[in-house]
Amino acid sequence: MAIVNAMRNIINILPGKISNENKEDVKQSLMEYKQLLGELNTLRKINEPYLLELSNALKEVKGQSHIFLFYQQEFRPIPDHQTINDLSRNQDYQSDVLDIFESDKGVEPINVSRIKEAFADAAVTFHHIYIKQYPGRLPNLVWKEHSMDMFDTFSELASETGGIVETTSKPDVAFRHAAETAENYYLLTYISPDQARDGGFRNIEIKLKDKAYKVIYRKGYLAE
């Protein structure tokens, strides 16, 4: 939150610097904002080794495990349309405006397949509860959504591990729904015809004749 507030403070004083034609101050403000954006993305980076360690720990726990991730919609402040236009008219700032304010660079993606296989092998179901919340209007700036990279990654992980993706403004209701889904299940077992223990990932696929139903299940296991 401190980083976002610092970004907002920079944007609030940008129009005055532009109108005073203080090019050095404008460039300095743009560089400070870019540095803060880098720090923000560093904080948002997903710790892939930690997720793998977590799956190893949960593998020692008997039965099915459920992980519920609550992730709130993120926004970052950028200048309003007028300020963006004022900056873009000056060639000294054009490349910075494109790179800092108009690009959609997110955090480096994780290897979802590797995490999916580790979670499936540990009988872990990952549920993604996405909380929508708009921060409200403020002068001289607009809020640009800064969460689709995370949303896509966590949603894919939930889908691939048999979990649910819930988008809501009421997290308590979404959690109740996810918990009810986790509590209702059938236990099915089978013996694989492929008994080779080569460390490879064995996919599991369950099909239903009645297309009106959706089945949530463990997607596979590591043959170790």
Going residue by residue through the chain (224 aa), what tens digit of pLDDT does each one get?
Answer: 799 999 999 999 888 888 877 888 989 999 999 999 999 988 888 889 999 999 989 988 887 788 899 999 999 999 999 999 988 888 888 888 888 888 777 777 788 888 888 888 888 889 999 999 888 888 888 999 888 888 988 998 888 888 888 898 888 887 887 777 777 667 777 777 777 777 778 878 888 888 777 777 777 777 77
What beta strand segments (E) does the chain contain? 65-72, 75-79, 124-131, 141-145, 165-168, 201-203, 220-222
**Count of residues making up the chain:** 224
Q: Give every CB contact of residue 74 below 8 A, 6+ residues apart in sequence.
A: 44, 145, 146, 147, 150
Which of the 8 DSSP states describes residue 138?
B
Residues 215, 123, 210: CA angle, nearest 5 degrees: 10
Structure tokens at 215: 């089945």
Site of tokens 């089978």 = 190
d(CA 180, CA 182): 5
Question: What is the reported pLDDT for 31?
Answer: 93
Question: What is the reported pLDDT for 76?
Answer: 92
Question: What is the reported pLDDT for 50?
Answer: 92
Count of CB atoms situated within 10 Å of the CB of 107: 15
Chain centre to alpha carbon of residue 162: 18
> 7-20: buried (b, 16+ CB within 10 Å) or exposed (e) per residue?
bbebbeebbebbee
**8 Å CB contact between 110 and 46:** yes
Question: What is the reported pLDDT for 223?
Answer: 78
Residue among 182, 175, 221 at smallest CA distance from 201: 221
Question: What is the reported pLDDT for 143?
Answer: 93
Domain ranges of the chain: 2-185
Question: What is the reported pLDDT for 180?
Answer: 79
For residue 84, give the 3-state DSSP assignment.
Answer: helix
